[in-house]
């Protein structure tokens, strides 16, 4: 029997209120939450005076690059970054090499994860125009990922005639990267020769995003199919969803699309390049409002590391994507401290609502019987994002220099301390997530 007692924390309760008290975990589960729990002969006690205890972050969209692209990141380095960022579970995307489009590739990832991941893991199965049988039977998976645009090799299903059978057959969640590939290709030609990375936001423009979101929603409505719209980037999509989102559809937004915009190209060049691209500042405001109003359900980082050498190739040869797992929680908690939202809303968007949407049992709340995946954060002190502190193999962040609060002090996975006071416990291993 392994126990851990966290004492004197500001504990976020399931009703959104805070309790100054203690949490006892046993064998990976939360056993008790109370204003005072008597310490018996426990050796594992964490004094959390002055700290806030939140459910561990569940990041529902990451690209961890293993297998095949380990020069950018691997499951070990990525989950060291997770532990440091308070991310205790993740859902990973299929654009690795080989692509995760078969049961064999999924099994290989699950095996690698069991050996290397410091936090809990789940994987998407990727759709191609011709792997419907795999999509129907793959197990365990959090869902089907469709790249409607911004292709990765065979991971492109863009035409309605190819998309329709995937929506028509089966019932598992479909998550879409909604960008209109035909429009992107046409605009790439129109703007060819331009090397200022800011052109990226015009090539893969708002209409490209809106067209694809509308098409995905049309097919979801036709078959009443569970749909999740990944990394919503535009105000027009958010407003469209406000009027047209059925209750079986969810949407997410990234901290990048909430907090960065096209002005970032002047400051950080191709490091600001991602898909779907950053938008104008007005979009930040509309996305925030949609999140506050519940039109957008939760937050994902789209952690997509590329090396600085790759980013230095210059547009359009520079790859799209930014790392995010070790800054997302402090970024959002800093926004809460600024009064833009509450701490309990942040925990809902980054944990509770994700567990609910993906039907991950016993996660996302601090409640007896739930898994002891927890993060203690410091909401009093501020410190900057520094390149030298980062665990991600790519070694950079678009938020370098940002003064943030809410940095994780202790991260706990399955009742085990995986990160404490700046140190990782690399012996800890996460578990495969279940999806009901």
* Interaction site with ligand DOR (CB under 6 A): 63, 95, 150, 177, 274-275, 302, 304, 319-321
Find the shortest distance in angstroms from Cβ 110 to ligand DOR.
20
Phi first, then psi, for residue 31 (nearest 5°) are -95, -40
Kindly report the number of other CB atoms within 10 A of residue 364's CB atom.
27
358 or 419: whose CB is closer to ligand DOR? 358
Q: What angle do CA 251, 373, 82 make, to 5 degrees?
A: 65
Token pair, residue 84, equals 């440091």
274 or 404: whose CB is closer to ligand DOR? 274
275 or 397: whose CB is closer to ligand DOR? 275
Encode 95-132: b = buried (16+ Cβ within 10 Å), e = exposed.
bbeebbbbeebbebbbebbeebbbbbbbbbbbbbeebb
63 or 311: whose CB is closer to ligand DOR? 63
83 or 272: whose CB is closer to ligand DOR? 272
Find the shortest distance in angstroms from Cβ 152 to ligand DOR.
7
Say if CB 117 and CB 429 are below 8 A apart: yes
Say if CB 375 and CB 386 are below 8 A apart: no
Q: Which residue is nearest to ligand DOR (CB)?
A: 321
131 or 273: whose CB is closer to ligand DOR? 273
Find the shortest distance in angstroms from Cβ 251 to ligand DOR.
15
Find the shortest distance in angstroms from Cβ 96 to ligand DOR.
9
Say if CB 89 and CB 434 are below 8 A apart: no
Find the shortest distance in angstroms from Cβ 285 to ligand DOR.
22
Helix (H, G, I), strand (E, B), or coil: what is residue 263? coil
Q: Which of 394, 402, 235, 392 is nearest to 319 (CA)?
A: 394
Find the shortest distance in angstroms from Cβ 82 to ligand DOR.
17
């Amino acid at each position: 029997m392994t126990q851990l007692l966290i004492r004197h924390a500001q504990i976020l309760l399931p009703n959104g209120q805070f309790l100054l008290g203690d949490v006892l975990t046993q064998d990976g589960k939360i056993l008790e939450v109370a204003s005072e729990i008597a310490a018996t002969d426990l050796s594992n006690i964490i004094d959390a005076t002055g700290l806030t205890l939140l459910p561990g972050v569940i990041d529902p969209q990451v690209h961890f690059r293993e297998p095949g692209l380990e020069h950018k990141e691997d499951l070990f380095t990525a989950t060291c970054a997770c532990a440091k960022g308070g991310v205790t579970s993740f859902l990973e995307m299929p654009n690795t090499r080989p692509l995760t489009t078969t049961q064999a590739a999924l099994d290989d990832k699950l095996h690698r994860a069991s050996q290397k991941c410091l936090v809990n893991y789940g994987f998407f199965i990727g759709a191609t125009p011709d792997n419907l049988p795999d999509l129907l039977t793959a197990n365990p998976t959090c869902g089907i990922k469709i790249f409607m645009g911004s292709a990765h090799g065979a991971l492109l299903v863009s035409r309605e005639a190819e998309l329709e059978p995937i929506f028509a057959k089966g019932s598992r969640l479909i998550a879409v990267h909604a960008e209109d590939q035909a429009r992107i290709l046409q605009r790439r030609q129109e703007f060819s020769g331009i090397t200022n990375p800011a052109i990226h936001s015009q090539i893969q423009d708002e209409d490209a995003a809106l067209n694809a979101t509308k098409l995905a929603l049309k097919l979801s409505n036709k078959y009443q199919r569970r749909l999740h719209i990944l990394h919503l980037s535009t105000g027009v999509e958010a407003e469209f969803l406000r009027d047209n989102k059925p209750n079986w559809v969810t949407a997410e937004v990234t901290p990048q699309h909430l907090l960065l915009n096209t002005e970032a190209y002047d400051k950080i060049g191709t490091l600001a390049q991602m898909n779907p691209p950053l938008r104008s500042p007005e979009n930040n405001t509309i996305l925030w409002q949609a999140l506050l109003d519940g039109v957008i359900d939760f937050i994902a980082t789209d952690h997509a590391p590329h090396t600085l050498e790759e980013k230095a190739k210059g547009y359009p040869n520079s790859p799209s994507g930014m790392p995010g797992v070790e800054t997302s929680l402090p970024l959002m908690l800093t926004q809460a401290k600024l009064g833009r939202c509450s701490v309990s809303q942040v925990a809902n968007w980054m944990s509770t609502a994700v567990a609910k949407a993906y039907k991950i049992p016993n996660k996302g709340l601090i409640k007896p019987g739930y898994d002891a995946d927890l993060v203690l954060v410091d909401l009093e002190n501020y410190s900057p994002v520094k390149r030298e502190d980062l665990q991600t193999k790519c070694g950079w962040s678009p938020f370098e220099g940002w003064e943030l609060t809410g940095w994780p002090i202790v991260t706990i996975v399955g009742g085990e301390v995986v990160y404490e006071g700046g140190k990782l416990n690399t012996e800890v291993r996460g578990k495969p997530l279940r999806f009901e």
